[in-house]
Structure 1
Amino acid sequence: MTTTSDTGIGKELATGKFTGEMLAKMRDLIGTELRTDACVNNEYATRLAILRFAEGIGDDNPLWTEEDYAAAGPHGGIVAPPSFIFACLGSVQVGWPGLGGFHAETDVTFHAPIKVGDKITARVWFDGFDDPIESSFGGRRIKDYLRQEYWNQDDELVARFICSRMRFERTEMQKRRSSRKIEIPHPWTDDQLAKIEDDILAEAPRGAEPRYWEDVRVGDELDTLTKGPIGLTDEIAYVASGAAPIPRLSAHSVALRRYKKHPKWAFRDPGTHALEPVYSVHYNDYAAQLQGAQIAYDVGIQRTCWQIHTLTHWIGDAGSVKAIHGQYRAHVYLSDVVRLGGKVVGKEIDGDGDAVLHLETWAHNQREQNCMPGTATVVLPRRPEVTQ
C-alpha cells in the first residue's frame, strides 16, 4: 500500500508563509507568459461543447442551444454565451507555494462573439501583485493579477479577462474560521423551497423580441434570476461543462503521476484515503475546511457566469455584453440560494458609437449579503426609426 510518506502528500493542504524570498521570486515573474496546456478544456466551440456549458451554468437560452431558433437570430446560427471563454480556459495557477487562494475580483471586456466552429486560443500573463497587507478575514494577504486573452482563428481578440486572486496563509485563515461561522447547510422549509422553485420555473429569457435602447430608463431594474439551493451536482455540472479546473481534473494513474510531480496540488482524504486536488474545496467539505471555509463552496468564475446569464437573459438576442466587473464577497456555500439582478445607472452613445447602458449588478444570498457586487456595460439595438 502507498503511504503518505511514499507520495510526499499528507492529509492537510500545503501550508506556506509570506517570506521576503518568496516575494522576490514572484516579482521576478512579473510579465511572464504562462503555460496553458494543462488547463485548456475546450479548444473548439462545437455545438455540444456550447450546449454542455450552457447546461452547466443553468442557462437554457435557445440562442445557445437550439439550431433552428438560432438560425433565425442575429448571428445566423448558434453562438456561445459570452462566459464560454471560461470553458476554454478558466484560469492558470502561478507560484505562491503552500499559500491558499480565493478568486477575489474579475474584469472582462468582450470584443467578438464565439460562433460554432470557432477555435479559441488562450494566452495568459502574470501582471504582478499588491504588497502584503493585514486583513481581519485571513491575516496577511496579497492580491495578484493574471491577464488572460482569448483569440479566435481569425486572430480577432474575443475577450480580455483580468483575474485577481487573494493569496493568504492557510494556517491564519483556519484560525479565523470560527469567527465566520454560520448555520450551514441552510435550514430551508418545504414552503420556502417551493417558492424558490416557482421563481426559477417562471424565468424566461427576453429572446427574439428586441429591447431597444430608447425604451430603457435610468433606474430600470433587470429581471431577477435565482440559483440554488446550490448542490453538489451543480458543481459537478460546472466542472463537466469544461469550466474552472486549474489544472484539469484527472483520475487514476494520470492524476497520481501529476501529484507525484507536484505534491502541493493534492492532499489525502482521511475518509476515502484517495488523493484529491486542491480544487476539491468546491465539492469536498474536508478540503474546504482546510482552506478556512465552513463547507464546500462555489467557484468564483461560476458566480460570474451567473452574472453574465442575468445580463443576456434581460438584454435579448439582439443585445450584447461589452464589459463586466465583479467582486467576490463571502462564500456561496452548498445549500445557499443566490438571487441575481441589477439596475440601469447610466446610458450613452459611447466612443465606439454603441448605444450602451451602464449597470450596477448584485447577487444576494438568503443571509441578505451581496456576495458579488459588480458593474456591467451592455449594448442594445436602436429603434429602426431612429437610425434611419
Structure 2
Amino acid sequence: MSTSATQEPRSTEAHMPEAVIDDAMIESMKAKAGVDLRISHSINNEEVTRIAVAKFAGGIGDINPLWTDSEHATNSDYLAPVAPPSFVIGCFSGIQFGWPGLGSFHSSTDMDLLAPIYLGDVITATCRYDGFTGPRPSTFANQMVTDMFTNTYTNQRDDKVAEIRWQVVNYERATARTASKSKRERLVLPHPWRTEEIEAVEARVLAEKPQGAEPRWWEDINPGDPISSLTKGPIGLTDEVAFIAGGGTPIPRLKAHAAALADYADHPAWSFRDPVTGAQEPIYAVHYNNSAAQAMGVAYQYDVGFQRQCWQIQLLTHWVGDKGWVKHLDSQYRGFVYLSDVIELGGVVDSKEIDADGEHVVHVTTFARNQRGGDVMPGHATVALPSRERELSPAGSRARVKS
C-alpha cells in the first residue's frame, strides 16, 4: 500500500481528549452517585485455575510457593491450593468512568481481605460509584475532583472474599502537561543506574524470601520491630506487560485490530493515536508508552496503582507466613513509580492486641521508598498472626474443607 507524497505529516506528539471541569460535568456526575456500574468489559479473571494463579503471581513478582506449589499449599493450614489474596485485583480492579476529557490516576486504596480464595472458586466482582469530592484547586492541573468506588468480590458460595474502597483523582490534562514538562527537566529519566548498583539491587531481590511454613508467633513481636523488606526493580517494560498478562488492570480489556477499533469508535475517549507507529492505542498505554504518558501529563511511563497495591499485599503475606492472615490494609499512591525506578517496601510494628474477633493482631505502618528517598506508597495494615495460646492459626481458622 502506497501513501501520497503530498500527504500531511503526522504529529510527532500524542494527543488525548482535553476538557475543563464545568458545572454541567459536575451535575452529570452527581446524578451517577450510588450506581452499580457495568464492568463486564474490564473483567479479566473469574475462574481460579492453576494457570490463572500462576500467571497472576508471576505478573506481580510473587515467588511464594504457597500460591504455586499444590503440595506445599495442601500441607499448609489452608488444607488445599490457594491463590494470593490480591488475586481479586486480577479479576477486576478498576474502570474508566465519567469525566470525559480529563486525565485520571488511582490515588488511594482501603481494603478488607475476608476469606481465602481456593483453586476451583469462581469470583464475581461488582463496582459501585460512591460519588466524588471537589472540585478543588491544584498546582498540578488547575482543578481536580476525586471519585470514590467500592468493589466487592464473592465466590460461588456467596461468601464475600474481599472488599476494596478506592479513589481516583481526575484532572485537567492541558495544565498537567505543562507541569510534566517542567518535571522532566528536573528529573533524569530513565534513572542512570551504574552496573554495580543494578547488580546489588538484583542480589537483594533474590535474597528476599517469604516466611513460609515457619510460624511468626504473635508473642515474639514487639512495637518498633521492623518487618522484612521487599524490593521491586529496576521497573521495566516487561514488568508492566507481565502484570497485564497475569490479569492486571487494563481498562477496558486490551484488544487488537478490528476488535479494538470497534471499541474506540464507540468510545473515542478510550484511545489516542501513537505518533510513532500511527496505531490507535488505549489510554492504559500510559504505563508502557512514553508518548502516552507525556500526553497524560506525566514525565515518563509509570506503574499501575493496583499493581503497587499488590506489592504491599505481597510484602505482608511474605512477612506473616503461611499461618498468618492479612486482615486489612490501606495505602496512598504519592507520586509516580517510573520505569527504571527501584522501590524498597518495608514497615514497622506500631502495636499489637487481641481484637474484637479474638484474633492476635499486629498493626503495622508500611512504606515504599524509591531511590530518590520518596515514599511513594505510605500505608497501614492489620495482620493476624499465630499465637501459642490458640490451637488454630489465622489461616487454619479460615480454611475451607472442600467437599
Task: Identify whether the pair has TM-score above 0.5, normalized to the shorter chain.
Answer: yes
Partners of 2:77 and 2:294 in 1: how far apart? Answer: 47
Other-structure match for 1:6: none
Other-structure match for 1:335: 340
Other-structure match for 2:77: 74
- Which one of the candidate residues 99, 104, 122 is aligned to 1:101? 104
User: Percent of aligned pairs with the same residue?
Assistant: 48
Counterpart check, 1:281 vs 2:286: yes
The number of equivalent residue pairs is: 382
Other-structure match for 1:155: 158
Other-structure match for 2:6: none
Other-structure match for 2:209: 204
- Which one of the candidate residues 316, 328, 331 is aligned to 1:326? 331
Q: How does 1:122-271 map to 2 (within 5 A)?
A: 122-181=125-184, 182-271=187-276
Other-structure match for 2:372: 367
Partners of 1:152 and 1:21 in 2: how far apart? Answer: 39
Deviates more, 1:192-201 or 1:174-183: 174-183
Q: 1:275 Cα deviation (Å)?
A: 0.5
Q: 1:94 Cα deviation (Å)?
A: 1.6
Residue identity matched to 1:63: L
Report the TM-score, using the length of structure 2 for normalisation.
Answer: 0.92
Partners of 2:55 and 2:391 in 1: how far apart? Answer: 39
Give the secondary structure class of the aligned counterpart of 2:292.
helix
Partners of 1:179 and 1:348 in 2: how far apart? Answer: 48
Other-structure match for 2:388: 383
Give the secondary structure class of the aligned counterpart of 2:30.
helix
Q: Deviations over 1:117-148 (max 9, x none)?
A: 11100011000100111122222101110110
- Which one of the candidate residues 29, 32, 50 is aligned to 1:29? 32
Q: 1:254 Cα deviation (Å)?
A: 0.5
Q: Deviations over 1:203-239 (max 9, x none)?
A: 1110000111111011111111110000000000000
Which stretches of structure 1, 4 residues or more, deviate above 4 A after TM superposition?
384-387
Partners of 1:151 and 1:122 in 2: how far apart? Answer: 7
Other-structure match for 1:14: 17
Q: 1:176 Cα deviation (Å)?
A: 1.1
Q: 1:191 Cα deviation (Å)?
A: 1.0
How has the CA–CA distance of structure 1 residues 78 and 135 changed in structure 2, closer, same or farther, with 3 Å as cutoff?
A: same
Deviates more, 1:175-184 or 1:141-150: 175-184
Give the secondary structure class of the aligned counterpart of 1:125.
strand
- Which one of the candidate residues 292, 296, 304 is aligned to 1:299? 304
Q: 1:175 Cα deviation (Å)?
A: 1.6
Is the 2:14–2:295 contact (alpha carbons within 8 Å) kept by the matching residues of 1? no
Is the 2:140–2:175 contact (alpha carbons within 8 Å) kept by the matching residues of 1? no
Q: 1:339 Cα deviation (Å)?
A: 0.3
Give the secondary structure class of the aligned counterpart of 1:223.
strand
Give the secondary structure class of the aligned counterpart of 2:259.
helix
Other-structure match for 1:7: none
Partners of 1:202 and 1:241 in 2: how far apart? Answer: 24
Residue identity matched to 1:218: P
CA-based RMSD: 1.7
Q: Deviations over 1:322-360 (max 9, x none)?
A: 011010111100000000001110111111111111100
Partners of 2:391 and 2:306 in 1: how far apart? Answer: 38
Partners of 1:324 and 1:154 in 2: how far apart? Answer: 25
Other-structure match for 1:44: 47
Structure 1: gaps spanning 5 or more residues? 3-9
Partners of 1:385 and 1:243 in 2: how far apart? Answer: 37
Partners of 1:303 and 1:382 in 2: how far apart? Answer: 30
Q: 1:261 Cα deviation (Å)?
A: 0.5
Q: 1:93 Cα deviation (Å)?
A: 2.0
Q: 1:385 Cα deviation (Å)?
A: 7.3
Q: 1:24 Cα deviation (Å)?
A: 0.3
Report the TM-score, using the length of structure 1 for normalisation.
Answer: 0.96
Give the secondary structure class of the aligned counterpart of 1:324.
strand
Q: 1:384 Cα deviation (Å)?
A: 4.6
Residue identity matched to 2:357: D
